[in-house]
Amino acid sequence: MKLPFFFFFLFLVLNSFSQEEKPILLKEIPQQFEYDDDLLPAAFFAKNRQAVRDRMPANSVAVFFANPVRNRSNDVDFEYHQDPNFYYLTGLREPNAVLVIYKDQQHFGDETSTKEILFLQKRNPKNEQWTGKRLGVDGALTYLQMETAIKSQNFAAFEAEFNTFDNIYVFKIPEDVAPSKEKDELYTLIKNFNLKTESASTKINNVLLGSILAELRQTKSKEEITLLRKAIDITCEAQIELMKSLKPGMKEYESEAIVEYFFKKNGAEYPGFPSILGSGENSCVLHYTTNRKILGDNDLLVSDIGAEYHGYTADVTRTIPAKGTFSKEQKIIYNIVLEAQQAGIDACLKGNKFWDPHQAATEIISNRLLELGIIDKKFNVRNYFMHGTSHYLGLDVHDVGLYGPLMPGQVITVEPGIYIPEGSDCDPKWWNIGVRIEDDILITNGKPEVLSAKAPRKIEEIEALMKEKGTLE
């Protein structure tokens, strides 16, 4: 039986490629492209690479390495998470890769002319049977729309004359890629980079890229804000469900399970950071993550959580009474934090200094604690409010930025708190009251937008919601 000409032609084309680098057919599309309908477009990453190139001086080159694979124990690795800068410039979620960005067009041999090259791991059907499909060179050209993509194993032989450049920009090489890992592809890439730049070590700069990426990443594009809204909305849904479901006698880890179930249920890939669910005395521990205590009747639970969606992370904190109502003392402290937070949010205006929300919140807290006699001098506010009020939000929960004037498109948190651990130098009736309220704020040309407003933060709203039945009950 003769094959139709089309299938015969297709057979010839496929077999003209090596087994590892056949063109990606529909059934071979890597999962991240097959199932996601709201991935950032390739043009987004290309625009970011060009923005870096625009900020580089003449006759310079920038080199970016993917994150290493990190071992959890024995033959089990941690779930892979790409370096945020590498992802911001490529969209690649795979390890063992290096991106080279040139300021000016480069010519290699008679055929290759490019301003950028992505070296990435080759396709290997046997490995993909275990760990999932890789992009490979053809996938990178097709889906990431890189100008040039080459198998990482060819980096050693690649004619990259780094010593001809005036400046070589590179982030610090990951220290946990140990020389003992001789079979690790990333280690080999770093080793070859070091060999290629050995005679040009005085031209290497580990600083400039940090300020360039901080400048670019601190202001979010419309596409990024869409993903942040999704991550924040998922997080708010989890906070709302927790308010409905929380009861005395629950374990902190049960509250964590509720939160992270709703992350996954609503499409988040991961928590953006270890979930903080601290009750009672643990509400006064800022980054408490043990989450094993049983909630007492009079405990407050500080729920500091954030879903990560397509790389972008939310960060929303609510303080919830285990029994559904706040005590008199808890209400007083809570309302001080709420007043301070609102003052901080009101200061999130275009042109204001980055630290203005912190100054506004601190002024409220110090004055109110003085009035209550919890402190006797304003500077002692640091005993009970010991952290900053704001940080940037984006690909990292504590995202990079220049901490200059607030500008439209920036997303920051406003998260004042008061923490009075047992044994504090004040009336014992205040002991073990820890309150933090945190929202994610978009800086606009006018009033700030509270992206996390969906999660109630007023006492009467929280208490009313806690009377409702949770979905999981």
Catalytic residue among 387, 396, 449, 463: 387
Q: What is the Cβ-side half-sphere exposure of residue 71, based on CA atoms within 13 angstroms?
A: 8
Mean per-residue pLDDT of the chain: 90
User: What percent of the chain is predicted at pLDDT more than 90?
Assistant: 75
Structural domains of the chain in order of their starting residue, each with its CATH number? 10-215 (3.40.350.10), 219-465 (3.90.230.10)
Q: Note the pLDDT of residue 2.
A: 40
Active site residue 75: yes
Catalytic residue among 241, 308, 415, 439: 415
C-alpha–C-alpha distance, residues 82 and 66, integer Å: 6
* SS3 state at 342: helix
Tokens of 390: 């704001």
Catalytic residue among 198, 398, 422, 427: 398
Catalytic residue among 34, 166, 176, 287: 287
pLDDT in tens, the chain (473 residues): 444 433 333 333 333 334 345 444 445 656 666 556 678 999 999 999 999 999 999 999 999 999 998 888 888 889 999 999 999 999 999 999 999 999 999 988 767 789 999 999 988 888 888 888 899 999 899 999 999 999 998 998 887 789 999 999 999 876 666 544 556 788 889 989 999 999 898 999 989 999 999 999 999 999 999 999 999 999 999 999 999 999 999 999 999 999 999 999 999 999 999 999 999 999 999 999 999 999 999 999 999 999 999 999 999 999 999 999 999 999 999 999 999 999 999 999 999 999 999 999 999 999 999 999 999 999 999 999 999 999 999 999 999 999 999 999 999 999 999 999 999 999 999 999 999 999 999 999 999 999 999 999 999 999 999 999 998 87
Q: Note the pLDDT of residue 34.
A: 59
CA dihedral of 122, 125, 128, 133, whole degrees rounded to 10? 70
Active site residue 438: yes
Q: Note the pLDDT of residue 176.
A: 65
Q: Note the pLDDT of residue 299.
A: 98
C-alpha–C-alpha distance, residues 358 and 343, integer Å: 9
CA dihedral of 124, 127, 131, 136, whole degrees rounded to 10? -10
Active site residue 310: no
C-alpha–C-alpha distance, residues 320 and 277, integer Å: 10
Active site residue 391: yes
What DSSP character marks residue 376? S
Active site residue 315: yes
Q: Note the pLDDT of residue 178.
A: 53
Q: Note the pLDDT of residue 26.
A: 42
pTM given for the model: 0.91
Tens digit of each residue's pLDDT (9 = 90 or more) over 325-354: 999 999 999 999 999 999 999 999 999 999
Catalytic residue among 116, 185, 252, 304: 304
Tokens of 431: 């002991």
Catalytic residue among 134, 309, 419, 439: 419
C-alpha–C-alpha distance, residues 412 and 406, integer Å: 9
Q: Note the pLDDT of residue 6.
A: 37
Active site residue 107: no
Q: Do the beta carbons of residue 46 and residue 145 sit within 8 Å? A: yes
H helix runs in 31-154, sequence order: 31-35, 42-55, 84-90, 125-131, 136-139
C-alpha–C-alpha distance, residues 337 and 415, integer Å: 9
Tell me how far CA of residue 78 lies from CA of 32, 69, 74, 208, in angstroms.
19, 7, 11, 30
Tokens 């100054």 found at: 359
- What count of other Cβ atoms lies within 10 Å of the Cβ of residue 43? 10
Active site residue 358: no
Catalytic residue among 37, 54, 75, 159: 75
